Amino acid sequence: GQNIDQPTEMTATEGAIVQINCTYQTSGFNGLFWYQQHAGEAPTFLSYNVLDGLEEKGRFSSFLSRSKGYSYLLLKELQMKDSASYLCATLRDDKLIFGTGTRLQVFP
């Protein structure tokens, strides 16, 4: 496989901050995406990183370190509706390859 690893499950409290990590093989890397997916629905695009550093977009931020093969998605001011799966994906040869996905449960 592509060895894109994420924690399987995470839990957090409403209003808190959570960081979801993703590690991947660096060979052939052309960019990293984060998607949110609610059960039974299509994934929705959250962020795209191709250069090192932090990209901030509202309550969500994504970080990339190409040399370390590492990314994280940071969710601030968690809301109940943020309970979903978060999928890390790398772009290789124009194909989007997904990691194992992290199921996040937000509790009140």
Partner 1 sequence: GAVVSQHPSWVICKSGTSVKIECRSLDFQATTMFWYRQFPKQSLMLMATSNEGSKATYEQGVEKDKFLINHASLTLSTLTVTSAHPEDSSFYICSASPGKLNYGYTFGSGTRLTVV
- Residue numbers at the binding site for partner 1 (CB under 8 A): 31, 33, 35, 40-46, 48, 50, 85, 87, 91, 94-101, 103
Output the smallest distance, CB 18 to partner 1, in A.
19
The answer to whether residues 37 and 47 touch, using CB atoms and an 8 Å cutoff, is no
Burial of 41 (C-beta count, 10 Å sphere; 0-12/13-18/19+) = exposed
Output the smallest distance, CB 98 to partner 1, in A.
5
CA distance 108 to 93: 42
Output the smallest distance, CB 15 to partner 1, in A.
27
Smaller CB separation from partner 1, 69 or 102: 102
Local structure of residue 5 (DSSP, 8 states): B
